[in-house]
Amino acid sequence: MQPATEMALSSGPLSIGIDIGTSGARAVAMRPDFSIAARSAVPLDRFGQNARDPSVWWSAVGAALTELLEGVDRAAVRSIAVDGTSGTLLPVDGVGRPLAEPLMYNDKVDDDAILAVIAREAPAASAARGATSGLAKALWFQRQPGIAAVLHQADWIAAQFSGRFDTSDENNALKTGYDVEARRWPDWIAATGMRMEFLPRVVKPGDVTGTLTASAADLFGLARDVAVVAGTTDGCASFLATGAAAVGDGVTALGSSLTIKILSDRPISAPQFGIYSHRLGDAYLAGGASNSGGKVLAQHFSLARIIELSAVIDPMTETGLDYYPLPVIGERFPVADPALPPRLTPRPADDADYLKAMFEGIAEIEALGYRRLAELGAPRLTSVRSVGGGAANAAWTAIRQRRLGVDFLPALSDEAAAGTARLALMGAITAGLL
């Protein structure tokens, strides 16, 4: 990721969203009408090669925010919120100093006793089950001498602004075992041996948790009364960034894999498909991820060749081929079958027809995914917004539209920081700052 800043001097109040990801930090300044006043991006490797070092995270965040603020009126900033990678945790002492290297979102806890006790105590549908869960990491970290709290990545970054090293949000806390329906830490967590005093208090995404500390205000040239607002995970932020906000709104991410999410009026849980629900206000965000997607396309064609072939595809006709494109054996959603083989034969002689058949196959998986969510209790799909590299392919989009049969709406943004800026904006409005 290359450093980039969009400069646009603006007037009127602003809210700032910050996204700290695996490769860098991004920041967005948003106006009350949800338009973006400025954006910036800074890579983590500008500050060192260890992407697990919290000081590197904070340096990148600070640099991104500083660059962002050079393009706006600092006095106009009313609120700020942070999103981070889901399931990334670190232990801290009483003043918020990290006590050990964080465990990242995809790191596994290699302790059979911890995993066994979670398997015994956690409900079958809990997102806290498994070796990469936040709860497994919290149980591992609570052994650290001098520990005062276990925080999620977004919690720790937000605390650099507010000084509150005791607060998390419902989305980041989900994989640590938080009950989003009851809105509390459930009693069964204590039965795992987790010391509950080390878990942060949990608030709703968009709630105001405090204001800037004197040091943070001085560092960035902002007013002390700028509100710090509870953020979310990177995945939830990316959904919010698109503008999807009504029950039945779906978002499809066409990256190396195929991910679908829908806003539901009820929680959906299906561990066999890797499905659990984040809470967003009074609604829930449910979704699943298929192993199909751009990765299988790249196994057969270069990007340049995909663009060339797509230009001659007629999306209004069918190849009649019934493909299930997978890069390797095994699928997780909408079919839960680790032994499911790829289905990519027979291969037509024309490369354009072959690519078209793969587009059709992935589009059918997408449609089946939304149907599967509906079978599990989610609402009927009413619209789709698309993000990721595949969203720009007109032929594929037309094929998908025919399969899904719903309105395809433009995504307002595909930047997680823009979704977090929306939370910061909502927090400022609720608190009467706008």
User: What is the pLDDT confidence band of residue 434, given thresholds at 50, 70 and 90?
Assistant: confident
Residues 214 and 282 in one domain: no
Residues 161 and 283 in one domain: no
User: What is the pLDDT confidence band of residue 236, given thresholds at 50, 70 and 90?
Assistant: very high
Residues 231 and 259 in one domain: no
Chain segment 278-315, per-residue pLDDT in tens:
999 899 999 999 999 999 999 999 999 999 999 999 99
Which residues have CB under 8 Å from 375's CB, separation 6+?
none
User: What is the pLDDT confidence band of residue 49, given thresholds at 50, 70 and 90?
Assistant: confident
Q: Is 201's pLDDT higher than 60?
A: yes
**Contact between residue 356 and residue 348 where contact means Cβ atoms under 8 Å apart:** no
Residues 163 and 255 in one domain: no
**Contact between residue 24 and residue 89 where contact means Cβ atoms under 8 Å apart:** no
85-114 exposure pattern, b = at least 16 Cβ within 10 A, e = fewer: bbbbbbbbeeebebbeebbbbebebeeeeb
Residues 223 and 279 in one domain: no
Could you tell me if residue 136 is left (phi over 0), alpha (psi between -120 and 50 degrees) or otherwise beta? alpha
How much is the pLDDT for 62?
A: 98
Q: What is the DSSP letter of 197?
A: G
Q: Is 420's pLDDT higher than 60?
A: yes
Strand partners of residue 376: none
User: What is the pLDDT confidence band of residue 1, given thresholds at 50, 70 and 90?
Assistant: very low
CA atoms within 13 A on the CB side of 1: 19
Which residues have CB under 8 Å from 360's CB, separation 6+?
318, 319, 321, 323, 399, 403
Percentage of residues in the chain having pLDDT higher than 90: 92
| Average pLDDT taken over every residue of the chain | 95
Tell me what the mean pLDDT of segment 340-360 comes to. Answer: 97
Residues 134 and 251 in one domain: no
Residue 373, token pair as written in the block: 């969510």
How much is the pLDDT for 431?
A: 87
Residues 309 and 372 in one domain: yes
- Return d(Cα 82, Cα 18) in angstroms, integer: 5
User: What is the pLDDT confidence band of residue 11, given thresholds at 50, 70 and 90?
Assistant: low
Tell me what the mean pLDDT of segment 32-48 comes to. Answer: 95
How much is the pLDDT for 48?
A: 87
Residues 78 and 149 in one domain: yes
**Contact between residue 170 and residue 205 where contact means Cβ atoms under 8 Å apart:** yes
Number of domains in the chain: 2
DSSP string across 41-75? EEEGGGS-S-TT-HHHHHHHHHHHHHHHHTTS-GG
**Contact between residue 200 and residue 173 where contact means Cβ atoms under 8 Å apart:** yes
Helix ranges (DSSP H) in 198-322 = 214-220, 234-241, 294-298, 303-310
Residues 140 and 57 in one domain: yes
- Pairing type for strands 258-264 and 283-290 reads antiparallel
Helix, strand, coil distribution of the chain in percent, nearest 5: 35, 25, 40
- Return d(Cα 163, Cα 173) in angstroms, integer: 19
Any idea which residue has 């751009």 for tokens?
A: 294
How much is the pLDDT for 8?
A: 44
Q: Is 356's pLDDT higher than 60?
A: yes
Residues 211 and 308 in one domain: no
- Name the residue range of residue 298's domain: 244-409
- Return d(Cα 398, Cα 392) in angstroms, integer: 11
Q: Is 64's pLDDT higher than 80?
A: yes
Identity (one letter) of the amino acid at 159? A
> Which CATH number goes with the domain that contains 263?
3.30.420.40
How much is the pLDDT for 7?
A: 43
Q: Is 10's pLDDT higher than 60?
A: no
How much is the pLDDT for 348?
A: 97
Residues 313 and 392 in one domain: yes
How much is the pLDDT for 271?
A: 87
Q: Is 4's pLDDT higher than 80?
A: no
Picking from 98-102, 123-127, 165-169, which range would have the lowest pLDDT averaged per residue?
123-127
Q: Is 18's pLDDT higher than 60?
A: yes
Residues 205 and 344 in one domain: no
How much is the pLDDT for 274?
A: 86
